[in-house]
Structure 1
Amino acid sequence: MVYIYYSYLSEEEHRKLLEIDLPKFPKDYQEKIKRYRRWQDAQLSLLGRILLFKGIEQIYKHNPLDKVIKHTKFSKPYFEDNFIHFNISHSGEIVVCALSDESEIGIDIEIVTDIEIEDFKSQMSENEFGKIVISSNSTRSFFDYWTQKEAVIKAQGEGLSIPLSSFEVSDYRTMINGEKFFLKEIKINDKYKCYVSQKMSISDVTIKNI
């Protein structure tokens, strides 16, 4: 089972988040949040941590404050006991957090905006880019592929050290270095594209707004 928690930014809620939720986290994390100049940036980071900890409490009935978050050499966060796999992403005004106890997981969300698609041609396979340019909505098609690719490399764990053009997404699956990855679209808001990825087929997904 994959669990997706998400939340929207809220300027009205920001003070309460800082006063009630932030003190629950380690001092070094509190200082990191306080260093942000824009309230939006601070809240995006804080909401990711809040969603993660709420998920752990509600789904797995664990005390998240007992868990230590570490980072791989590729900067992917993970828990020291490695029992719960998670990944966080944000774009625009939405933060998403994916959790699973089955395998490594990756999630990516992107707000769909007008871009120069040609600027990203080198990030796609020839086949992917061909499908994008002939699509009836090339912008949405681009973000569809881009979000899937980002979710996959986050699940794989080596991040941008894996060139996006080095693998091709087809029918919600792909291969990286001999490993198969599966994808599923998460529909939260029509203005965004969001995908989750794992090494196993994704069938059951629970989505919860916090």
Structure 2
Amino acid sequence: MIILYTFISEANHQSLLDRYLPVFSQKSKQNVLRYRRWQDAQLCLLGKVLLQYGLKTYYNISDIETGVLPNKKPYLKGHSLHFNISHSKELVACAIAEYPLGIDVEFNDPKVSYHDFTFQMTDKELQEIQDAEDKMKKLFTYWTRKEAVIKAHGAGMMLPLDSFEIINNACSIEGQKFFTKEILIHEGYYSHIASSDQKIKDVMPLIKCIEEDILL
């Protein structure tokens, strides 16, 4: 498994658009340009760029075509590899593996309060956060772990966060088991990966920051 990440840059925004938009399909261009804020457009664009870079550099795959499953989860056509993209604040990350997976990153925002998410937690999870010495760390652990599972499952917003519990980094959804692993991508961000494949419990992913000069 590889996890590539980078940071958005307003100064490089137009240069990134000029270089990469002509490379992608019309649908991908529309997905990027539909955003009004440059931050959102660039996060969307860089997710695609990291996937392209990762497949070409680490898997020798240049001809890339993605599709969307009925549950709206993106997949790579014609290859047995899987990928997932997540972004928060100024960071965007792309994970690529030989098995289905989900990744979630969240910026450690001091303005966030766990009280804002109590309606998305089970009673047990809420109690664990309230009892924790570092409540914010516990909140972001809970949040990223569950979001990673939801993305690995592919149900998206149709699967409420409080509809399942993760115990010892494992949970079951509709009879299917999922496993989670905490990873450190960058200081100031929390992150988890998840998969229905047990390999993820022991994986040591290659995590690499792709600098702006490489992308440009």
TM over 0.5: yes
How many angstroms does 1:82 deviate by? 4.8
Q: In the alignment, what sits opposite 2:36? A: 37
How many angstroms does 1:115 deviate by? 2.6
How far apart in 2 are the matches of 1:163 and 1:8? 29
Matched, 1:145 2:142: yes
TM-score normalised by structure 1 residue count? 0.91
Q: In the alignment, what sits opposite 2:207? A: 207
Are the aligned partners of 2:52 and 2:64 in contact in 1 as well (CA < 8 Å)?
no
- Deviates most, 40-49 or 66-75: 66-75
Alignment of structure 1 residues 1-210 onto 2, 5 Å: 2-63=1-62, 66-101=63-98, 103-113=99-109, 114-199=111-196, 200-202=198-200, 203-210=203-210
Paired letter, 2:103:
I
Secondary structure at 1:201's aligned position in 2? helix
Paired letter, 2:52:
F
How far apart in 2 are the matches of 1:207 and 1:171? 24
Length, aligned pairs only: 206
TM-score normalised by structure 2 residue count? 0.89
- Cα displacement string for residues 32-65 of structure 1 (whole angstroms, at most 9, x for unaligned residues): 32343221111000000000111110121011xx
How many angstroms does 1:116 deviate by? 3.5
- Cα displacement string for residues 49-99 of structure 1 (whole angstroms, at most 9, x for unaligned residues): 000111110121011xx3321112222111222511111011000001111
How far apart in 1 are the matches of 2:47 and 2:195? 20
How far apart in 2 are the matches of 1:36 and 1:115? 24
Are the aligned partners of 2:182 and 2:192 in contact in 1 as well (CA < 8 Å)?
yes
4+ residue stretches of structure 1 with deviation over 4 A?
none
Are the aligned partners of 1:183 and 1:201 in contact in 2 as well (CA < 8 Å)?
no
How many angstroms does 1:6 deviate by? 0.4
How far apart in 1 are the matches of 2:149 and 2:187? 21
Identity of aligned residues (%): 41
How far apart in 2 are the matches of 1:185 and 1:36? 31
How many angstroms does 1:201 deviate by? 3.1
Paired letter, 2:205:
V
Are the aligned partners of 1:86 and 1:97 in contact in 2 as well (CA < 8 Å)?
yes
Q: CA RMSD in A?
A: 1.6
Q: Which 5+ residue runs of structure 1 have no aligned equivalent?
A: none
Q: Which 5+ residue runs of structure 2 have no aligned equivalent?
A: 211-216
